[in-house]
């Protein structure tokens, strides 16, 4: 089982970062304005209300303060912490990608093999490396802009999302091209990785989103879960013919796709708090993807 650990580390950690940027970029298109803009608007409105309140009676001022306090309490702990910390999202994603690349080095055994692999542009490891480096550089730019200017640039976010798409695609393609390994060399392999990454990425996005963005993200997460359910079920049917551990794949689908979707639906219906829903979606998605990919790697590496 230790043989598959580096592969799981790379595809899971790197996949979370890549999926998060793609989902974040798409959600940013659906919801104009950054989280910081929304927070600043709310803060400005409260300040204007305070200035107007100076000319009003003490009773009205007290009412205004009580209303502001209620709005402040309505914000989740993460939202309050992220008020002027939009750089946390790219920082976390950079850390995840870095951990994933360490998994690649663990898999290769020696760092020189990584350098030699990059020297051959036709090799899949070099393709993964090029996309990972491009993605990493754009995330660093995103981090610096968010840290210095206080808000991200959607152009950089979209460029990073494009690089993330490339990384997700070549990661799945790398295993699909292993035509001598039957459990990997099927057309379902590429979408299996891409949709799984998006599912995990949605969980990270929910942790760093504000109230308005979370509403869109939960709807988007339900759609992603539906796609992942279809793809994972197709892979389970494919794996059954090869004698793979289909029961574990089914468990992963139930936890990751169905469980995550149920959490989002419960939140949309007002039955689950924002912070609990965000954490539950992330945990369900990661556990589900790790279970499915664990079977995938065991079948290909161990047999």
Evaluate if residue 91 carries a pLDDT over 90: yes
Question: Above 70 in pLDDT, residue 275?
Answer: yes
DSSP codes, 42-111? HHHHHHHHHHHHTTS-HHHHHHHHHHHHHHHHHS-HHHHHTTT-TTHHHHHHHHHHHHHHHHHHHHHSSH
> Per-residue pLDDT for 35 more than 60?
no
Q: Label residue 154 by pLDDT band (50, 70, 90).
A: confident
CA distances from 227 to 119, 130, 261, 291 (A): 36, 28, 11, 17
Distance CA 204, CA 36 (A): 17
Most confident among 123-127, 214-218, 227-231 (mean pLDDT): 227-231
Instruction: Return the minimum-mean-pLDDT range out of 44-58, 172-186, 267-281.
Output: 44-58
Higher-pLDDT residue of 112 and 245 is 245
| Top-confidence residue, 2 or 126 | 126
Q: What is the pLDDT of residue 102?
A: 84
Higher pLDDT, 93 or 212: 93
pLDDT attached to residue 241: 86
Q: Is residue 42 scored above 70 in pLDDT?
A: no
Calpha distance 88→82 (Å, rounded): 7
pLDDT band at 37 (very low <50, low <70, confident <90, very high): very low
Reduced to 3 states (helix: H, G, I; strand: E, B; else coil), residue 122 is coil
Q: Is the pLDDT of residue 40 over 60?
A: no
Lowest pLDDT segment from 4-13, 229-238, 287-296? 4-13
What value does the mean pLDDT of the chain take? 81
**Could you report the per-residue pLDDT of 176-198, keeping only the tens digit for each?**
988 888 889 888 999 999 999 99
């Amino acid at each position: 089982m230790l043989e598959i650990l580096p592969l799981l580390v790379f595809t899971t950690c790197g996949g979370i970062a890549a999926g998060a940027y793609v989902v974040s970029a798409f959600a940013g298109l659906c919801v104009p304005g950054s989280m910081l803009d929304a927070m600043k608007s709310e803060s400005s409105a409260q300040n204007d209300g305070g200035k107007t309140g100076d000319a009003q009676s003490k009773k009205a001022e007290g009412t205004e303060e009580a209303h502001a306090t209620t709005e402040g309490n309505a914000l989740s702990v993460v939202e309050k912490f992220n008020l002027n910390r939009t750089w946390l999202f790219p920082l976390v994603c950079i850390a995840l990608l870095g951990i994933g690349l360490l998994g690649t080095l663990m898999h290769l055994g020696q760092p020189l093999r990584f350098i030699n692999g990059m020297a051959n542009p036709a090799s899949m490891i070099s393709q993964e490396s090029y996309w990972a480096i491009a993605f990493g550089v754009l995330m660093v730019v995103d981090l610096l802009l968010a840290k210095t200017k206080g808000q991200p640039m959607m152009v950089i976010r979209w460029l990073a999302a494009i690089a993330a798409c490339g990384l997700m695609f070549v990661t799945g393609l790398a295993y699909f091209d292993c035509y001598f390994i039957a459990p990997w060399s099927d057309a379902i392999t590429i979408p299996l990785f891409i949709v799984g990454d998006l599912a995990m990425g949605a969980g990270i996005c929910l942790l760093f989103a504000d109230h308005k963005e979370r509403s869109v993200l939960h709807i988007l997460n339900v759609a992603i879960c539906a796609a992942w359910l279809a793809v994972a079920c197709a892979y389970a049917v494919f794996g059954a013919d090869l004698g793979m551990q289909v029961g574990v794949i089914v468990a992963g689908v139930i936890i990751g796709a169905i469980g995550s979707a149920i959490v989002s639906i419960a939140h949309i219906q007002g039955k689950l708090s924002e912070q609990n829903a965000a954490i539950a979606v992330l945990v369900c998605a990661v556990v589900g993807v790790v279970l499915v990919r664990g079977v995938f790697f065991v079948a290909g590496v161990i047999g």
